[in-house]
Amino acid sequence: MNLLFLFLDGIGLGDNNPEINPFARADMPYLQSLLGGRKLTRESAPFEGDLATLLSIDPNLGVDGLPQSATGQAVLLTGINVPAELGYHYGPKPNPDVAKYLDGKTVFSKIVKAGKKTALLSAYPPRYFVGINSGKHLYSSIPLAFTNAGLSLFTKDDYYAGNALAADFTGQGWHDFLHLHEAPVYSPEEAGQKLAEIASKYDFSLFEYWASDYAGHKQDMDSAVRQLETFDGVLKGLLGTSGCKPDLLLITSDHGNMEDLSTRRHTAADVPLLLFGDKSLRQEFQNVHDLTGIAPAISRILDL
C-alpha cells in the first residue's frame, strides 16, 4: 500500500465567484477533467467519479471562533477533536496544550510503531534549521509530529539528491528567494512525477504546502492563481505517472482562507477532501464529515 497525503494549507470550498475566489478564476484543466468539468468550489461537492472523489468536510468541529492551523493540523494527524477538548482553536504554531497531542498519538507515531515506512517529503532549507535550533522559530504541527515520532526532516542535501521536494513543488523559490542557485528546478509536471516516484518508496508519506495560506492572508489573487495553475500541473504529473502513482492520493486542508480573498482572515468554510485512486480505498472516507475522520481512515487503510 502506498498512500500519499498532500496537505494544502488554508484551502476552503468557496463560492464560484472569480472576483474573490482564485479557484473560480484559475485555469485548472487537469483537475476539472477528473471532476467531470467541475471547479473546486462549494457547489461541486459531493462528487463521485471513476477517477476521483470530492467531499466537503467541516474544520470548525463545534468550537466557536475561526479554525486555526495548529489545532486543525493536530486533528488531521490524530483524529482527536483537539479544539473541542481544549475549548479553543489555536495557531499558527502549536502551544504546549496542542503539542501534547502531537507526541505519540499521530499517524506518524503509529506507522513507526507498526514497522512501516513513512516520510515527510518536504525539504527544509538551511535557514529553517537555524531558526529552529536557535529557538527563534517553532515547528508547526506537522514537522513537530514527524520529529516527535523519532524521524528526521529532509534537508537541502536530500533535495539536491532527489529524495524530497521544495515547499513550492518546483524549487523555483529556492533560486529566487533563498538564492540557492544550484538547487534543482522542475516544471510542475516534472515535480508531480518526482513526487510520485519518491512517495512510492513509503507506505505513507505527506507533503506540506503552505504558500496557499500565505496568499490568502496577503489577499494576493495573482499569486493564488499562479499557485493553483502550478498545482494543476503537479497533479497531472503525479497521477499520470504510469507505475509510480500512489494507490491513494488524499488532498485536504486545515481551514479555509485562500478561497475568499475578500478577507485576510481564515474562514469558516468547509474544506475539500479530494481522493484519487482505487474506488474501494476512496470508499473508506465515505462517512467522513469533518477533520476528525481523516486519521482513522488512514489507520484502517494501512492496518495500523
Is a pLDDT exceeding 70 seen at residue 137?
Answer: yes
**Mean per-residue pLDDT, 263-278:** 97
Note the pTM of the prediction, 2 decimals: 0.96
Residue 219 Cα distances to 212, 225, 233, 258, 281, angstroms: 10, 11, 23, 8, 36
pLDDT digits (tens, 9 = 90+) for 161-220: 999 999 999 999 999 989 999 999 999 999 999 999 999 999 999 999 999 998 999 999
Nearest-angstrom CA–CA distance, 108 and 246: 18
Residue 97 CB-density burial (10 A; 0-12 exposed, 13-18 middle, 19+ buried): middle
Q: In terms of Cα–Cα distance, which of 130, 137, 193, 146 is closest to 165?
A: 193
Q: Please give the single-letter amino acid code of residue 16.
A: N
Its CATH architecture, for the domain 3-302, is 3-Layer(aba) Sandwich (3.40)
pLDDT of residue 244: 83
260 in Cβ contact with 12 (< 8 Å): yes
Q: Determine the average pLDDT of the residues in 215-244.
A: 93
Q: How far is CA 36 from CA 33, 49, 126, 193, 232, in A?
A: 5, 8, 42, 23, 15
CB 94 within 8 A of CB 144: yes
Percent of the chain with pLDDT over 70: 99
pLDDT at 242 over 70: no
For the segment 39-48, the average pLDDT, to the nearest whole number, is 98
Which positions ≥6 away from 99 have C-beta within 8 Å? 144
Cα(233)–Cα(95) distance, integer angstroms: 36
Q: Write down the mean pLDDT value for the chain.
A: 96
